[in-house]
Homo-oligomer: A and B are copies of this chain.
Amino acid sequence: RLYFQIPQFIRLLLTIFASMIVFGYIIHLIEPNEFKTVFDGVWWAFITGSTIGYGDYVPHTTIGRLLGISLILLGGGVLTFYMVTFAKTTISRKDAYEKGDV
């Protein structure tokens, strides 16, 4: 089972990174004054998609905000899902280890 699950986990991670890079790149194009580098945009996409929302980078234009809403509706859940899945997997593996199943 491990053989198939690990690539799935890596695919999920790659999907997250690819999505955040795409959103970060687009916001950098839309609001280059607020998001001076592509990495500023990627950082914003991660902080927004994970629903942390520091507020250090915030879109101010209507188009930028619509991109932000798209990020919430398309990408936000993926990161939330990843976080819960990761936690559940870690804890159940730890339990399995302690029970002697692994």
Contacts and interface: CB of A to CB of B under 8 A. Distances in A.
Please give the count of copies of this chain that the complex contains. 4
6 nearest CB pairs, A to B: A77-B83, A81-B87, A52-B53, A77-B87, A54-B55, A77-B86
Given A46-B72, A91-B81, A56 B58 contact: yes
A89 B79 CA distance: 14
Nearest to A69: B46
Contacts of A43: 65, 68-69
Nearest to A40: B65
A13 interface: yes
Nearest to A81: B87
B52 A48 contact: yes
